[in-house]
Amino acid sequence: MKVTARIALAAFAIACLASTALAGPRLGGAVGLGSANDNVDNGLVLQGYLELDVREDLTLRGGLSYLTGDTTGETLRDGELTMLGIEAAALYRVNLDKATSYLGAGIGYYTPEHAFSEGVETQLALLNLEADDDLDSGIGFFLTGGIRVPMSDTVSIGASARYLFLEVDDHATRSDLTVSESISSTEEIDLGTLFLSASLQIQF
């Protein structure tokens, strides 16, 4: 319910801003590849967003992101990380002859989840052990920049780079089923991500 409420609040805020926009909103989507750090590899991010030009050189963007990648670190053992983000950003635009470039910064609320691979689960079962990683949700900040090239009056394609600054707590539990004992620990995990993305935008 909390995530649904945040999405509804973000949609309401965007609707209010739309009444002051200089032009119709742009609906965009992006696919990005990259790497987080030593904790996550083979990252893939999907983004969907809505943009509004509120000044000649300023664009506001709100949307959702979904990250998936392989966990490879000492703390997050072999498995998969998935993460849903609700994001908002301000972009400073520079209009060029046949394109528009931009630089910006934003904030988001992210909900990561970690699952062990089948191989790790099998090894734990053979040793009569259980393990669980509970990652906290958290607020992150990001920097972004890119370029957009119009293909028609309503359709544009683009490319961008983005780095997300995000650290969350991992509440790990390791249980020995033989003696019914558990050990719990909490460690801060860096989920900072650098991605290069390709995008498609449609203006209404």
Q: pLDDT tens, 42-76?
A: 788 999 999 998 888 999 999 999 998 887 765 56
Pair of tokens at residue 39: 């904790």
- Assess contact for 120 and 80: CB atoms under 8 A: no
Per-residue pLDDT tens over the stretch 71-85: 776 556 677 888 999
Share of the chain above pLDDT 70, in %: 67
Give the confidence band of 187 by pLDDT, cuts at 50, 70, 90: confident
pTM higher than the cut 0.85: no
Residue 42 — left, alpha, or beta (φ > 0 → left; ψ -120 to 50 → alpha)? left
Q: In the predicted model, is pLDDT for residue 129 greater than 60?
A: no
Give the confidence band of 170 by pLDDT, cuts at 50, 70, 90: confident
pLDDT on residue 159: 94
| Nearest-angstrom CA–CA distance, 40 and 169 | 15
**Torsion angle of the four alpha carbons 131, 136, 141, 145, in this order, in degrees rounded to the nearest 10:** 40
Q: In Å, how far are 47, 48, 183, 201, 204 from 5, measured between CA atoms?
A: 19, 18, 35, 26, 26
Edge-to-edge strands, sheet with 129-135: 129-135, 167-176, 181-190
Computed over every residue of the chain, the mean pLDDT equals 79
| Nearest-angstrom CA–CA distance, 12 and 10 | 5
pLDDT on residue 63: 94
Q: Regarding predicted confidence, which is higher, 100 or 181? A: 100
Q: In Å, how far are 25, 60, 118, 170 from 49, measured between CA atoms?
A: 10, 10, 34, 29
CATH topology (fold) of 2-116+136-165+192-203: Porin (2.40.160)
pLDDT on residue 178: 64
